[in-house]
Amino acid sequence: MKILILTGKFCMGHMTASKSLAQQILDAYPGAQVRIEDLVDYAVPELSAAVYKGYNLLVTCGPALFNAYYKLTENVPAHLCFAGHFVEKLEELLG
């Protein structure tokens, strides 16, 4: 059995949860192949540090700006924005 756990280094809680989930899967299914992948690092390795720094800055210093961005982009089809690149990379991971 192959399992891919997608995560991100957003405040590190996601990574910790991913590692815990992977361990629980391995305990239950010792023969499983579990891979944890940071989708941001995978999709845009040259920009991942900036993405995480920007996210942390928005969350700590500008939640109103973050919320405005989220509201403006939540209904935009993935292929029309940066998220489309992530979808392509996700398909690559699953392929």
Quick: pLDDT tens for 21-70.
999 999 999 999 999 999 889 999 998 999 888 888 888 877 788 788 78
| Structure confidence at residue 82 (pLDDT) | 65
| 60 neighbors 68 (Cβ within 8 angstroms) | no
Specify whether the backbone of 33 is left (phi greater than 0), alpha (psi in -120 to 50) or beta.
Answer: beta
The pTM (predicted TM-score) of the whole model is 0.73
